[in-house]
Amino acid sequence: MNYVVVGINHKSAPVNVREKFALDTNKAKLLLKRLYQGKKLRELAVISTCNRVELYGVSGGVEEAKNELYRVFYQSDMVDEKIEWDSYIYTHENKEAISHLFSVTSSLDSLILGENQITKQVRDAYDLATHTEVIGPYLNQLFHKAFFVAKRVKTETDISKGNISVGSAGVLLAKKIFGKLTDKKVLLLGAGEIGELVVRYLNDLVDSGNTFIMNRTLSKAQNLEVQNLGIAKDFQDFEEVILEADIVVSSMSAGYEFLDQDLFKKIMTKRKNRSLFVIDLGVPRNIDETVGELSNLYLYNVDDLKEISEENKQARLESLNHAKNIIEHEANDFYDSFIGQKARPTIASLSQKFDRIRDNEVEKSLTKMQHLSDDDKKIIEKMSKAIVSKILHDPIFLLKNEEELSEPGVLEIVKKIFKLNDEEIK
């Protein structure tokens, strides 16, 4: 039984690969159910954001988890096309897996270092796994610990202070293009969370009434209008509204690039080539990347925010090191307790078995030695306990030892040698 993670993220794969693995809530639910039914993974959770898709689980080993994921992915309608994923996928096991989740939740592994969204996204992933009933005590503990670590990192370091989030990165770029943003018009396509976040940042600088929201489902746009994000518009008026806009933030879960170069060519001509800043936050992307080749049109997608994040990372290297230390310390602690936890049932079963044997044998012997005084009987009882304790000392020490236990099959060997059955252990 091991903690495993199999994933793909903004460091391991470009957006055009990541978008093929992107999972919306329904797909993520389906994946969790199918994997759980396969019984190779005992507990499961999947984090799917625009920057990463990661499967966390408790299984026999990371290879087993990877193969199972591969099987479920490709033997079903999860992905449209088969991708040779070995060069993009990374895997971690046990301490590395724990440490990885802590880094992800604390935003150390994020595109934008120190951004706060990811903690919420991990919480959503945890909630989804809980609702799908594929999570158990091990992942429960791990995720709760991850939230605790994220909070510690946030409060004890400056990693989130003055950070460039996706939202502020969007504002920074808009300022580089337009300078003052007060009279600029913003169009939000889709009701995705990141898009909403970016627009909230922009709204701090643009005049009120200059933000428009469009979604295929008008009611969703109207919901955002109620929250004072902007004015909801019918999606049918897209070409009309975009003529007015200076900044377009697209975060639709369309599943394909539905805005192409020809459309933007037409739009730019009608706009008399007025500058247009387009942020494509959709994964899969909403906008064909060749759109960025058009004159006076500046197209950025989530990956393009990497550079800003990197600059940001340098500026807060000290906080980063502090945060890394916290994570390492917490991951070690958690892993030590996990190891103890992992071996605890076997240790308990082993002790119980030896105690039972000792009890039986002592009882048998004492019935034959009725002449002994109570003090003598106590001495024999004490001696038998000491013998059992000394015999068990080495095997228990081995089971509590992290390095020894990391060897595959150690627990199984112990169980076999001492004939401990699984029912007893549970």
Partner 1 sequence: MNLHAFFIIILALYLASTLCYILRLIIDKPVLSVLGLRGVVLAAFLQTLTLGFHFLRAEEVFSTFLDYYQLSALILSYTFIILCFKKRFYASGLFFLIPIDLLIILSLTHQNPYALKIPWPLYGYLWTHLISIFLSLAVFIVGMVSAVLFLISERNIKAKKLGGWVSRLPSLAVLDDIHYKAVTLGFVIFSLAIVTGAGYSKVLTGHYISDDLKQGLSIILWIFFAVILNFRVRKGWQGHKGILLSLIGLIALVLLFFIGLK
Q: How far is the CB of 104 from partner 1 (least distance, A)?
A: 24
Nearest to 399 by CA among 383, 411, 387: 411
For the record, the structure tokens of 285 come out as 């992307």
For the record, the structure tokens of 110 come out as 């994020």
Q: How far apart are CA 58 and CA 120, in angstroms?
A: 22
| Interface residue with partner 1, options 66, 233, 271, 313 (CB under 8 A) | 271
The residue whose two tokens read 């377009």 is 248
Q: How do 90-93 and 2-9 pair as beta strands?
A: antiparallel
- For residue 244, state whether it binds partner 1 (rule: CB under 8 A): no
Q: How far is the CB of 289 from partner 1 (least distance, A)?
A: 12
Q: How far is the CB of 233 from partner 1 (least distance, A)?
A: 24
Per CB under 8 A, contacts with partner 1 among 43-102 are none
Q: How far is the CB of 279 from partner 1 (least distance, A)?
A: 12
What angle do the packed helices 317-368 and 95-105 form, to 10 degrees?
140
Look up 50 and say whether it is catalytic. yes
- For residue 274, state whether it binds partner 1 (rule: CB under 8 A): yes
| Interface residue with partner 1, options 16, 275, 332, 384 (CB under 8 A) | 275
- For residue 266, state whether it binds partner 1 (rule: CB under 8 A): no
| Interface residue with partner 1, options 178, 201, 335, 338 (CB under 8 A) | 178
- For residue 209, state whether it binds partner 1 (rule: CB under 8 A): no
Q: How far is the CB of 175 from partner 1 (least distance, A)?
A: 6
What sign does the CA torsion over 230, 231, 232, 234 have? negative
Specify the residue, 296 or 421, whose C-beta has the smaller distance to partner 1. Answer: 296
Specify the residue, 123 or 306, whose C-beta has the smaller distance to partner 1. Answer: 306
Specify the residue, 155 or 269, whose C-beta has the smaller distance to partner 1. Answer: 269
| Interface residue with partner 1, options 111, 173, 224, 411 (CB under 8 A) | 173
Q: How far is the CB of 162 from partner 1 (least distance, A)?
A: 17
Specify the residue, 274 or 416, whose C-beta has the smaller distance to partner 1. Answer: 274
**Range in contact with partner 1 (rule: CB under 8 A) among 146-154, 267-275, 359-367, 407-415:** 267-275
| Interface residue with partner 1, options 176, 266, 382, 416 (CB under 8 A) | 176
Q: With 0-12 CB in 10 A as exposed, 13-18 as middle and 19+ as buried, what is 196?
A: buried
x-marked contacts with partner 1 along 282-321 as a string, rule CB under 8 A:
----------x--xx-x-x---x--xx--x----------
Nearest to 378 by CA among 362, 355, 356: 362
Q: With 0-12 CB in 10 A as exposed, 13-18 as middle and 19+ as buried, what is 131?
A: exposed
The residue whose two tokens read 């898709």 is 53
Active-site residue identified among 50, 187, 242, 268? 50
CB neighbour list of residue 208: distance below 8 Å, 6 or more residues apart: none
Number of Cβ atoms within 10 Å of the Cβ of 394: 9
Nearest to 228 by CA among 252, 211, 205, 216: 211
What single string gives the DSSP state of each residue in 321-362? HHHHHHHHHHHHHHHHHHHHHHHHHHHHHHHHHHHHHHHHHH
Nearest to 274 by CA among 245, 240, 237, 300: 245
Q: How far is the CB of 148 from partner 1 (least distance, A)?
A: 35
- For residue 3, state whether it binds partner 1 (rule: CB under 8 A): no
From residue 177, alpha-carbon distances to 54, 282, 292, 298 in Å are: 35, 22, 14, 9
Q: List active site positions.
A: 50
Instruction: Name the site residues for partner 1 (rule: CB under 8 A).
Output: 173, 175-180, 269, 271-275, 292, 295-296, 298, 300, 304, 307-308, 311
